Structure 1
Amino acid sequence: MEMVEMETMRWLPLILSVLLVLFNLHGSFAAFSPADNYLIACGSPQNVSFQGRTFAPDSVQSSFVLKGQGNSVAATSSSSVPSPIYQSARIFASTASYKFKIQQEGRHWVRLYFYPLPDSGHNLASATITVITDDFVLLNNFSFESYNSSYLFKEYSINVTSDTLTLTFIPMNNSATFVNGIEVVSVPDVLIPDQALVLFPSSPFNGLSDLSLETVFRLNMGGPLLTPQNDTLGRIWENDMKYLHVNSSAVNVLVNPSTIRYTMSVTSEIAPNWVYATAESMGDPNVPNQNFNVTWVFPVDPNFMYFIRLHFCDIVSRTLYDLVFNAYINSDTAISSLDLSTLTGNLATPYYKDFISNSSIDSDTITVSVGPDTMADITGAILNGLEIMKISNDARSLDGLISVEGLLPKSSKNSKIGIIVGAALGTLATVGLIAFCYCCLIVHRSKTTHQGPSWLPLPLYGNSQTMTKVSTTSQKSGTGSCISLASSNLGRLFMFQEIMDATNRFDESLLLGVGGFGKVYKGTLEDGTEVAVKRGNPRSEQGLAEFRTEIEMLSKLRHRHLVSLIGYCDERSEMILVYEYMANGPLRSHLYGTELPSLSWKQRLEICIGAARGLHYLHTGSAQSIIHRDVKTTNILLDENFVAKVADFGLSKTGPALDQTHVSTAVKGSFGYLDPEYFRRQQLTEKSDVYSFGVVLMEVLCSRPALDPALPREQVNIAEWAMSQQKKGMLDHIIDPTLVGKVINAASLKKFGETAEKCLAEYGVDRPSMGDVLWNLEYALQLEETSLALTEPEDNSTNHIPGIPMTPLDPFDHSASMIDGVNAGTNDDPEDTATSAVFSQLVNPRGR
């Protein structure tokens, strides 16, 4: 007996430890009991078990109603499906809806499952899917024909403010629609706050509870995939590895989940303990400067704002106050000098912070970074979890610009007509009175002496900076609508009505593209001149400063290979820029993503040469150089003759003075094109543009995006991937497939690859100048044209220059790279219009 007691005493501490772990696990995963918990297997004849939960058939209708069931069919599949929830579907030939009784108002998950059953008797792969709630558009005209996955899962967060919630499925384009599974589940009110911090301009955003959200990314940094079985709110957390910008920059950290210390303000409903028990920490990127950032890149729809939640938990420190770091979203500092010990008072204690942001500048990505706070002299940074959710737009939609009213069939709208007509009649007299008073005011003001409009700050954009006021007296032009600002040398000042007329009131059919600043429309002025009109978006990260920079930069620059600014408009708190119209649009559109014809190798060389000339002029054409800072294929535009012109100078900076080597500035630009040295050190030079141009060269060669997270890990970043192939001598293996089999001079391709490789050197000091890059590209074109001259002797086109001697030239002989037309005193590039005419300089070099 004494022996047994001794054994019991020896194992007692271990038993207590196990009980403590079990207690902690129970506390971490204490089941949240939702008041509403609808799990529906649509079209299924029986219950379906999926991810540890039971989904009931939609034919069993107790607390919800399926309207339109008579116009629907249930389908099941005997073939293999991605998951059990996709074994059946409810197919609708006409508009139908599920109406749920809501016991507790507040935030609810709405989760939808779609998989086009192959043996359903319908061609569901071509079916269009439109889903709306009472107030919001969730999906609009989705089809699997243009989708790169076999199934679709959508998760939304909707604040239900009545005792019912209706999900309506609308067939479009005379096709059927369908759904495989539905979840409508209550969530705690604390999960999504009403307020979050807008990053640019920094200000609180109120009213999130009136908006719907869609989950686009939810990541468990450094940890495994978590399913609803691991999460009290049934969420899915995926691993972050494929979104890392540089894989070697981060290392995984893992501790026992039972060690996580939740607080009253952060419970397991915010995130499960497995999220806080794993993290990505700073790794070894094999660079001398250890003050680098760990960065993740996410593709998003640039037309929406995003709710972003960062999860932190110090599981790497041995003692308190041993970790201080910064967090960034896009180019903005989200949290400066984050000291988790001070905020939580303990190690292994969760903390999170919410933000609202757009996509990154003129791009369709969001970037999240963590890095050391250099002021704290502590090297280290972590991130445990990340959530990115799309916010519904002004049309109360999460998919496009069409509202619920615009999608409902006419019969569904009739019941609302009486209310609308009554409200209209009730306000008609008031509107008439206001209109009458307004007209009187306009008549009165038109009789007063017109004063020149000053350049006012734009309060709509919340920017504290103000534009330089125009002090000159405005004079009416011959048209009576244009105000001359010749003395201010800022270009033509357009009235807002002129812009409205030119763009047919910003007709969406004239939309040319969408960037970080706003939308770009094609316009036609009164004299028939075609223009491109860029209208600032008040939600854009780019604001008044970029607006001013663009005008001031382009008003001083005139060059054949720079897009010309015609004028601007700042009336009615608008920020509008008017440029020359580039008929063939951005270079990217001719490389991938569209049905436009493929460019020949010679065309690609000439386009790269044109862009290089524009950048070379920026770097050398004035007393102080100009650094573009956002060189990429969407900012290289092509006119009707495929002449390349560099565009978008909103981020441009004046280069360093003669006694300086760099400009210290916050990192801005587009991920995938950013100079890694600039990104690490925040020191900008002309060589930063050279690096970005090197990425453009590889993009031109391979016809693929600079960043493509859908590709295998080693191929995501085109610069890294193409450089690895170039060093192996296998660059010809990754060129655009449309060029394979075409006659391309091998020496020309080799020279192009070598030039791109030099541009992409890790350190700026090892990169060539834009003048050297230009020379090398011209030499590559010379090699190509000489080859064409030998194979096509009867070609008499203007671009065909026979008889150029193939004398080996030093590619870095600066005497051979002197290009006419870069003096600051000239207004334009005096070179011949035929691109290849520059080779006269190679045959007989001369100084300027």
Structure 2
Amino acid sequence: MGYDRCIQILSVLLLCGASWAQGPVAAPAPSFTPADAIRIACGSASDVKIGTRVFLADVQGTGQGVAGRTNQNNGALSAYAPLLTSARFFTSAFNYNFTVSPGRHWVRLFFYPFAFSSFQPSNSFFDISTKEVGLLSNFSAVTFVTADSPYFVREYFLNITSKDLVLTFIPRSNSYAFINAIEIVSAPDGMVQGGAPTLGGGSLTYPGLSQSALQTMYRLNVGGGTVAPDDDSANLSRTWIPDTPYKLLNTPGVSVEANATKITYTDVAEYIAPATVYASGQALEDNDVANANAALNWNFTVDNNFTYLVRLHFCELQYQRLYERVFIIEINRVAIYQFFDIIEEAGAAYTPLYRDFMVPMINTYPKINVRIAPDRSNPNAKNVLLNGLEIFKVNNANSSLAGPNRIIEPNTTSGGTQTTNSSSSSNLGAIIGASIGGVAAVLAAAALVIFCCYKKKTKSDKPGAPSHWLPLPLHGSSTDHSKVSTSSAKSGKSGAGSYVSSVPSNLGRYFSFAELQEATNNFDESLVLGVGGFGKVYKGETDDGSKVAVKRGNPRSEQGLNEFQTEIELLSKLRHRHLVSLIGYCEEHGEMILVYDYMANGPLRGHLYGTDEAPLSWKQRLEICIGAARGLHYLHTGAAQGIIHRDVKTTNILLDENFVAKVADFGLSKIGPANEVTHVSTAVKGSFGYLDPEYFRRQQLTEKSDVYSFGVVLMEVLCARPAINPALPREEVNLADWAIKYHKAGMLDKIVDEKLRDTINPDSLKTFGDTVEKCLQERGIDRPSMGDVLWNLEYALQLHEASVKGAMSSLDQGNFSTDSDNSHMISVPLVAPNLFDDSLTMDIERRMLEETASEDQSASAIFSQLINAQGR
């Protein structure tokens, strides 16, 4: 079951059989011919032909509302000008009635706001709905146009259960509604299946998706050009646009292309996406693949408080064999695949594949981030690839898809108003300039206040400073806004004290940005210690000569605010020998920077594999594991609720100059459950390979989730290999499953790091292996506490040290020749107690009490109960 469990749990169940992502695997459907293809040129007296599509004159609208037309010749309308320069206007409720075949339909509404007679675009606010779902509410089309895009299309994917489709237009009071064109096209029922995996909590599958109403937010031909409606597959008339406007600029990437005739549809129906989309893709530049920070990122602005269906399209265009292209896929920092191989998923090159995911955006930052990065744990894996991407909004519990209008911002160049991202044009200037009365004036005034406040808050003297990171929210209740930076006052450097921190001074030393620039030689790349999800870590030296580690957030990732805040809040309260100490922070100029004690020997992982570091002895490894266990035990038991780390792994265990282990990176940590509550319900976060399977299945976080992750760390320490390595044979991919099989078979010594072979006392190894097995139990209730794990690691160390002493004693007595190797180490006849019993030996109890007594006595009062043995 080892590999199956790896696939199912550690890679978000890898969507076994692809059934979660796209329903049951079946042969591709035959070429689809839409039963309905209804196109109306609203307000037009004659038919309009756009490419091969014919929009009929608005006969049913005759005598209803007002048909209007404009002679404005806007080049941005291009081929659509004959269709969009006519419209129908309504001052009262009006229905468009269409006879259709029951089933799924694409419904497209075309809007080009122009002035006609007394109808001014700035005074148009209206609702649109069907019998089943609301599409638009208090909608103002003028807020969505720009000079470059004076028209737009709202596309919906509706499940119509009767033979009548009724589109109802309702103007708001003293306003009017309008529409330029309507298109209704039948779609295959297989376009959307019944469910898909859900990110960030809730059930693993999103129920009822096949019955839901969807709105198309984005449809991208990644790495390629525009695919026009006439070139869409199955006559569905969709438009696919390039991905360039949505891609972050930190890694430009390169287009990968193939001849579309090579695309072979097998398990995916041709109507899902045209071959043109699958025949192009986006990858990294070859020289960027080795860069530890290189990845492709796309950002998409969405409406808050909706759930979104994110569909990713893949097709391998370059490689032919398994594991040549293996990469990581993340949505909003959640790794949906830790090692994704298109060939393995699709079965062959040039074979289309897609995966669906539900992304709830409830009270969160209204952007969806999609990120793909090479799997750098596999030296044979090459690059990344994405061919297409679609994002659909799903109707909410009120059967509505209506989102807010865009905010109108002041136009400081012309004295009028304009929509976000718009530039001046005579047409739009006239339209929006007319918004000086009524409701629009109120909106503009409100937007002006918001705009000015926002600009004031994000103003920066630093060129290129990120504008979307707001200052850290206030912590606690004793904020002193007038208090200047304590570090600046101390240093006396130029500009010191000029910046007023919005964070209370009791959360550590405040560093000015200039101080950290000087400490890191202006963030010299040669001083980079490592790169993580938050950003790069630099080695630095403060004004008093202290060596520090400076972790600088990467604003382009649009990630890190929560982690930054959590890290400061937690570490300002924690002081323990086996936790990395936070010295201070900086939030100046939109930066998010954390400053820690410098750990001279870096992450534990670097001393196990992948580097040229001298190998650690078994005693060193046990002492490091014991130190890390002490740090985690302190987190779990030092307060009434305790703290759950949630991201325990070998890269988050750092070693100082004396190889003392310290737990680091508390950005994902959570306060534990209170009183009689057994768990914390929260979104699944962590690192694959270390993720507690029970936590993943149930979204219920407990201290035992850290115990599971630490069990993987222990096995990683023993075997000196990654937790997940897809380059290995299938049964060896997942370290936890593979190693436990060997342990249960009594052959754990066969997979021990070869640098440790014949140096470990068998009893010490067995105690260690039994401890790991307990940590890796499927159910949290069957796992030991971190205190029990700590005791057993102490016992394993005691066994090892006793055997070494015994061996040395025997050598002194001449029992072994001087050229004998460590394979003759003596098994000391100590009686092992029940591994997880409360009765401890005096020697181990003494070790633990001495260690506890030596901890920093300045620990916060809420953690002080750990100072006595009761705290354990």
TM-score calculated relative to the size of structure 1: 0.50
The structure, 1 or 2, with the larger RCO (C-alpha pairs under 8 Å, 6+ apart) is 2
TM-score (norm 2): 0.48
